[in-house]
């Protein structure tokens, strides 16, 4: 099942600035401006050079603010063009719900929350960032949909060299589950505490579909009542639409045996 074509109106792709960098630069701007104002007030070194520096700093600050606002404006326009809803900040529910799942620690922050429906499936998408110094997980772009049933923790992601090395040494927390398709097993790591459930979900059709995806298209995790698709970083324009469509397509590809309660023997 291929994802449906995105909506007709689509603004140009936008790239969000790194939130932490922007915050740090903003503080720097404030600090430099404060120092400059003190200098001016004291009047010892007041002159054209100082005025130029001050003007440059103020200009840089304004530029950074404009870039951030510009990205947000384009993102909101993209969301609106799809008939979805945007909120800059979370009400706290998502942080509480997904902090453990996404290994972001207690200080997970959620922003840029998008809610809506795609092909009749309700979803929520958002950006996360960690405020917890003990975790080194960077910000993530997440799409979450309600799963048809509660499930053990199933993870599907593309193989990465460090992960492969850890698995080869037997250091991984969960073993990689191999499937009959060599191409699939070479490219993807599948981990699940119930191996049989992984086989129920990942059918030959599902394997074929996942193999057709572009590399680094994101990770999948079905944990509890939620099916989650996530990437490191932030959504860049069309990527939001694609991620939502692919999450819905994943849901549609699930066979009945994976969506219904297990049959009694």
Partner 1 sequence: MVATWVLVGSGLTALVALVTAMQYNRMVGLRNRIQESWSDVDTELRRRHDLVPNLVATVQGYATHEANVLGALTRARAAVAASAARTPQQAAAESALGSALDRVVAVAEGYPELKASANFLALQSELTLTEDRIQAARRFYNANVRDYRNQVRQFPGVLLAGLVGMRDDVACFEVASPQERQAPAVASLSGAP
Which residues here bind partner 1, judged by CB under 8 A? 178-180, 195-196, 199-200, 203-204, 255-257, 260, 263, 265
Residue 69 structure tokens: 């606002």
Contact of 189 with 168, CB cutoff 8 Å: no
Within 10 angstroms of residue 120's Cβ, the number of other Cβ atoms is 6
As measured in angstroms, the least distance from the Cβ of 256 to partner 1 is 6
Least distance CB 180 / partner 1 (angstroms) = 6
Q: Are the C-beta atoms of 118 and 129 separated by less than 8 Å?
A: no
Indicate the residue among 134 and 256 with the shorter CB distance to partner 1. 256
Q: Which is nearer to partner 1, 10 or 195 (CB)?
A: 195
Question: Closest Cα partner for 127 from 115, 143, 116?
Answer: 143
225 HSE (CA, 13 A, CB side): 3
Cβ nearer to partner 1, comparing 142 with 198: 198
Written as one string, the DSSP assignment of 58-80 is HHHHHHHHHHHHHHHHHHHHHHH
- Residue 93: CB minimum distance to partner 1, A: 35
- Residue 15 or 194: the one with the smaller Cβ distance to partner 1 is 194
Nearer Cβ to partner 1 (2/42): 2
Report, in Å, the least distance between residue 203 CB and partner 1.
7
Minimal distance, residue 206 CB to partner 1, in Å: 11
CA-derived radius of gyration, the chain? 23
């Amino acid at each position: 099942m291929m994802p449906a074509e995105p909506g007709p109106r689509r603004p140009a792709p936008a790239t969000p600035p790194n939130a932490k960098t922007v915050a740090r630069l903003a503080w720097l701007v404030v600090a430099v401006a404060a120092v400059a104002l003190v200098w001016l007030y004291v009047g010892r070194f007041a002159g054209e050079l100082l005025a130029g520096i001050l003007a440059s700093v103020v200009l840089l600050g304004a530029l950074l603010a404009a870039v951030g606002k510009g990205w947000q404006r384009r993102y909101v326009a993209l969301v609106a063009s799809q008939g979805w809803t945007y909120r800059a900040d979370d009400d706290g529910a998502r942080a509480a719900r997904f902090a453990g799942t996404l290994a972001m620690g207690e200080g997970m922050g959620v922003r840029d929350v998008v809610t809506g429906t795609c092909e009749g499936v309700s979803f929520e998408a958002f950006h996360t960032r960690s405020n917890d110094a003990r975790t080194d997980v960077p910000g993530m772009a997440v799409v979450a949909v309600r799963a048809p049933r509660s499930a053990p923790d199933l993870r599907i992601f593309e193989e990465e060299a460090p992960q492969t090395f850890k698995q080869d040494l037997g250091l991984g927390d969960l073993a990689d589950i191999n499937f009959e398709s060599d191409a699939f097993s070479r490219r993807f790591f599948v981990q699940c505490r119930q191996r049989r459930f992984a086989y129920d979900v990942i059918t030959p059709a599902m394997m074929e579909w996942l193999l057709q995806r572009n590399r680094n298209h994101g990770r999948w995790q079905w944990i509890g009542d939620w099916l989650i698709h996530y990437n490191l970083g932030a959504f860049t324009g069309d990527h939001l639409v694609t991620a939502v469509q692919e999450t819905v397509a994943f849901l549609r590809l699930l066979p009945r045996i994976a969506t219904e309660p297990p049959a009694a023997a």
